[in-house]
Amino acid sequence: MIEYRNLRVALLGGGSVGAQVARLLLEQRDELAGRVGASLELVGIAVRDVNAERTVDLPKELFTTDAESLILGADVVIELMGGIEPARSYILLAINSGADVVTANKALLAEHGAELFAAADQVGAQLNYEAAVAGAIPILRPLRESLAGDRVVRILGIVNGTTNYILDRMDEAGDSLEEALASATALGYAEADPTADVGGYDAAQKAAILASLAFHTTVPLESVYREGITSVTPAQIESARKAGYVVKLLAICERFTDEHGVDGVSARVYPAMVPRSHPLAAVHGANNAVFVEAEAAGSLMFYGAGAGGVETASAVLGDLVSLARRHVAGGPGVAASSHAELPVFDIGSVMTRYAVTLEVTDEPGVLAEVASVFSDHHVSLALVEQSMTPAVAKTVSRAAVSATATLVIGTHDATEAALAATVRDLAANRFVTTVASVLRVEGV
């Protein structure tokens, strides 16, 4: 029997992820000790109410409401409470009292990451957070380590399982947004208040974390452009399907040089059309996937469960083992990357392609006029498709029916600013009845 030294592990939070982490730590104690070279002793679980119902049966004596004492007696603190405070204060307390930290708190990292990383750097503490993005999928460690010798160019991520489930239902079952959301709620994928998911806020937090890590810079949450899926219609999804595309809510992180020669980054979240042949198009249900384009490695994709208590617990334990191994090896933590402070571009500078659907009156010269609106703003066209809209309304006399047509226009790369100006002019154009849909196109 090998005698291992002991690492004292404190857990903050006993919810669905916390309870699974505790269970796995207790059940796999011997196996983990062998992998780490030290015993990982769970010394306590700080919760608000020690008598609350738990999803997992755990020894009563582990629970405490005294988080601070628990932290002060620990070598490693695992923060799974969520929210900003007191999570932020507890993590700072842990770092400053010499503990290493594992957290899955995306909201906290997106808003106060820079402060926490600086605090950890100052004392040489380790701060791991793999579980904060895309649940069980190992994406942060590959970005930080495996691609450390490469240059990441672009990330396209499906990082919110709830919205992917909803869009997938709309695409596969023809559900409306409301029906798909109801089904997501029934399955436990969506929370009672689904705003964080459907509004793209959750994805925006993850985009900020991914962009900061991938580009070795700081991308504040407030500089992440965000659109949710609430305006996505079945008609858009149907029209995308006909054209060979699927609509996905994407978190996009990109590094590029803008028209003024400035090197910077962009982080943004919006629903976009993705070609059905793209690997991201095959990500169904509540799964997550992160597609990474790097200069040397080319295209990579990381796929798996984006949420779930036990799945996320796997990522937390991976962080814990990794950090504990370094703890055992001695010496300071691994040197942090030097950070460039790259400018974060406004959405107006971002270049992408668009699919614009217009209802127009069916008269000679319409197409030429519409095309000239695009060219006025230097937006060049890749594709134009015209289809008749069936003339309607029995009660309207023949003479009163002015025939309308639907125009679907695909653009080449254009800036958001140029496209927005184009759409403004189109809406005011005498031939255009309605700008029915504007969707970005990614992954082509």
Window 155 to 174, contacts with its own copies (CB under 8 A)? none
Residue 100 C-beta: closest distance to its own copies, Å: 14
Element (H, E) at 20: helix 16-27
Element (H, E) at 267: strand 263-275
Residue 13 C-beta: closest distance to its own copies, Å: 17
Residue 15, annotated ligand binder? yes
Draw the binding track, 103-142, toward its own copies (x: CB under 8 A; -: no contact). ---------------------------x-----xxx--xx
Half-sphere exposure of 267 (CA within 13 A, CB side): 27
Largest CA distance in the chain: 95
Which region among 322-330, 365-373, 382-390, 429-437 touches its own copies (by CB under 8 A)? 322-330
Query: Among residues 370, 347, 356, which one has the least CA distance to residue 439?
Result: 356
Draw the binding track, 368-407, toward its own copies (x: CB under 8 A; -: no contact). ----------------------------------------
293 vs 112, 114, 238, 334, 340, CA distance in Å?
A: 27, 25, 29, 26, 20
**Integer Cα distance of 236 and 119 in angstroms:** 47
Residue 106, annotated ligand binder? yes
With contact defined as beta carbons under 8 Å apart, do 236 and 437 qualify? yes
What is the DSSP pairing of strand 39-46 with strand 63-64?
parallel
255 binds its own copies (CB under 8 A): no
Draw the binding track, 181-200, toward its own copies (x: CB under 8 A; -: no contact). --------------------
8 binds its own copies (CB under 8 A): no
What is the DSSP pairing of strand 263-275 with strand 225-226?
parallel
26 binds its own copies (CB under 8 A): no
Residue 248 a catalytic site member: no
Helix 161-172 and helix 234-242, axial crossing angle in degrees, nearest 10: 70
332 binds its own copies (CB under 8 A): yes
15 binds its own copies (CB under 8 A): no
Residue 3 C-beta: closest distance to its own copies, Å: 13
How is residue 60 written in tokens? 């009563």
Which residues are CB-neighbours of 416 under 8 A, at least 6 positions away?
A: 347, 348, 349, 350, 352
Which one is catalytic: 60, 206, 242, 248?
A: 206
Q: Which of 52, 84, 282, 427 binds its own copies (CB under 8 A)?
A: 282
> Looking at 18-119, which runs of residues are DSSP E strands?
39-46, 63-64, 76-79, 100-103
Q: Which of 1, 186, 192, 329 binds its own copies (CB under 8 A)?
A: 329
Q: Which of 1, 186, 192, 335 binds its own copies (CB under 8 A)?
A: 335
Residue the block writes with tokens 């814990």: 320
How many other CB atoms are found less than 10 A from the CB of residue 52? Answer: 10
Window 62 to 81, contacts with its own copies (CB under 8 A)? none
325 binds its own copies (CB under 8 A): yes
334 binds its own copies (CB under 8 A): yes
How is residue 169 written in tokens? 């239902």
**Integer Cα distance of 98 and 75 in angstroms:** 7
**Between 111 and 130, whose beta carbon lies closer to its own copies?**
130
How is residue 325 written in tokens? 């191994």
Residue 443, annotated ligand binder? no
Residues flagged as binding site: 12-19, 106, 191
Residues catalogued as catalytic: 206
Q: Which residue positions form the known binding site for NADP(+)?
A: 12-19
Q: Where along the sequence are the contacts to its own copies (CB under 8 A)?
A: 2, 20, 24, 28, 31-32, 34-37, 130, 136-138, 141-142, 145-151, 216, 279, 282, 294-305, 308, 310-311, 313-322, 325-326, 328-335, 337-338, 340
